[in-house]
């Protein structure tokens, strides 16, 4: 090969190496940037001082103290009020996310797909299938839905007001994702502030299925926090309000009802682990 040919070959090799180095460097920077974004997308951590445990699918469960509270209020379907005794439980700090559902069930039914968002578009019956599989994977039988009384106790976090932070509805957006347009839907879990017991999105984002059958009011309800059977078990209770609702659909005492076999893009859940 002539000297001129060798120089041309060397120049071509140098150009290729330079391009490769630029691509590698760009890829590395992109990966660093992606990792920083991923770090920011981690679920928010419950406050310090709370006892928190985790499981194999990334759920963080906060231990709630045993106690008593007055359940309900004087609005239609939310009374008569009564004092309820609640045992200590662990409850998930966040609504079950799409990533967690996928890890357990192997598919994602959600309309507004994003692994960080709460799973939605699920029936009450499907929550039971999820819990059965989660218990199998975790080697226990203690995962379940919260009862209606446990849910309200957790939401109130010791407060007797409409919301755990008081009655000032102007503060609600600090803690809840609601009144959102359908093109946006749900929000990533844990983006708003938690209640004093470390629970995120207890109001808004998705309505949360609980274990109880539907009753029109609390007449004859138990004075402890067990699930209330009887009533119409083809329909199940939901609590907390969802992303599409106005503020008056959110709150510690607000009740919802839906057919157990039907799904909706506003319906999700969180779980309880019995000690």
SS (H, E, C) 94-113: CCCEHHHHHHHHCCCCCCCC
pTM above 0.85?
no
Instruction: Mark whether 166 and 249 lie in a shared domain.
Output: yes
Measured CA to CA, the distance from residue 213 to residue 234 in angstroms comes to 7
pLDDT of residue 44: 54
The pLDDT of residue 207 is above 80: yes
At 63-87, the pLDDT tens digits run 999 999 999 999 999 999 999 999 9
Measured CA to CA, the distance from residue 19 to residue 15 in angstroms comes to 6
Give Cβ neighbours of residue 247 (< 8 Å, ≥ 6 apart).
Answer: 169, 172, 178, 179
> Mean pLDDT lowest for which of 24-28, 29-33, 63-67, 87-91?
29-33
Instruction: Mark whether 144 and 64 lie in a shared domain.
Output: yes
pLDDT of residue 125: 98
Strand order in the sheet with 89-92: 52-54, 60-64, 89-92, 272-273, 143-144
At 176-186, the pLDDT tens digits run 999 999 999 99
Number of compact structural domains in the chain: 2
For residue 16, name the pLDDT band (cuts at 50, 70, 90).
very low
The pLDDT of residue 33 is above 80: no
% residues pLDDT > 90 (the chain) = 81
Instruction: Mark whether 34 and 74 lie in a shared domain.
Output: no
Using the CB atoms, write b or e for 44-56: b if 16+ within 10 Å.
bebeeebebeebe
Instruction: Mark whether 58 and 18 lie in a shared domain.
Output: no
Instruction: Mark whether 13 and 94 lie in a shared domain.
Output: no
> Domain limits at 110?
48-273
Coil, helix or strand at residue 235: strand
């Amino acid at each position: 090969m002539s000297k001129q040919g060798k120089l041309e070959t060397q120049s071509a090799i140098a150009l290729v190496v330079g391009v490769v180095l630029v691509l590698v460097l760009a890829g590395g920077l992109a990966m660093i940037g992606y990792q920083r974004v991923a770090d920011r997308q981690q679920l928010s951590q419950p406050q310090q001082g709370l006892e928190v445990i985790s499981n194999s699918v990334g759920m963080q469960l906060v231990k709630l103290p045993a106690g008593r509270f007055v359940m309900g209020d004087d609005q239609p379907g939310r009374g008569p009020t009564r004092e309820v005794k609640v045992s200590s439980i662990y409850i998930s700090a966040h609504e079950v996310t799409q990533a967690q559902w996928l890890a357990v069930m192997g598919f994602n039914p959600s309309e507004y797909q994003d692994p960080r968002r709460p799973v939605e578009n699920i029936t009450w019956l499907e929550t039971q299938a999820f819990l059965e599989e989660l218990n199998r994977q975790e080697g226990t039988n203690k995962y379940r839905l919260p009862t209606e009384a446990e849910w309200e106790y957790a939401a109130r976090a010791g407060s007797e007001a409409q919301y755990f932070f008081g009655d000032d509805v102007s503060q609600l957006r600090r803690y809840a994702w609601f009144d959102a347009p359908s093109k946006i839907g749900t929000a990533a879990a844990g983006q708003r502030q938690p209640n004093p017991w470390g629970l995120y999105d207890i109001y808004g984002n998705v309505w949360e299925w609980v274990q109880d059958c539907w009753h029109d009011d609390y007449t004859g309800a138990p004075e402890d926090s067990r699930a209330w059977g009887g009533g119409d078990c083809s329909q199940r209770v939901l609590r907390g309000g969802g992303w599409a609702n106005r503020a008056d659909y959110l709150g510690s005492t607000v009740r919802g009802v839906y057919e157990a076999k039907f799904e909706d893009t506003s319906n999700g859940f969180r779980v309880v682990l019995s000690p």
